[in-house]
Structure 1
């Protein structure tokens, strides 16, 4: 980004441009680039991240149609949640950015840990154990494979 002459901070007279002018030029330059990816996020999904990552690893870098087939036929709970997020990312790509769904692939999928609900589990002799119900944040990014060539 710094190698581009049109968005450098130094002007022709040798003085530095104001920060606001620099950022405005940078945003205009970013806006002129074609959009080749779309994202979707599911937050606070009630599944532990370790269980969700096993499915996420199986669809990473696959075509969207192949990834959807894997998710449809998987019996796991995380597959249903990731399926909805992937469909949302594909819909965002089609409706917001005008990308073709047939040319998309899952470029990035991340399962991060969300907050934990802590519940008490009664034990013998008046004691209690803490039961942690984990949550996940799911991030799916789809990219257009034809635009990268």
Structure 2
């Protein structure tokens, strides 16, 4: 187990016992934010990049939402009032939106194919955690 997992398991505020799902969502959000940022950059560098502007914007929106979700999740705050679930739902929706846009270009751009895959995995991790803390 990495340091992040150790920190989350050491946290005294884990009444639902969902530390593993929190860790998975945090790590997935972090990876997704990085992958989306790289994909946006790659989209802007492609020949005919004007056709990829919507994809790059979706990538950057998703990266921002994933980073925010990651920060909220590691704080383990506000779970009782539904705030964390709202953040997880927003992140999953941003990931779904980004994945759908990247899938349009996946046949011609490997970075879009990989980004769509990571976005789908992140959306799944966020939804899994949301279900566990309901």
TM-score by length of 1: 0.27
TM-score by length of 2: 0.29
Comparing both structures, which one devotes a greater share of its residues to helix?
A: 2
**Which structure's CA Rg is the greater one?**
1
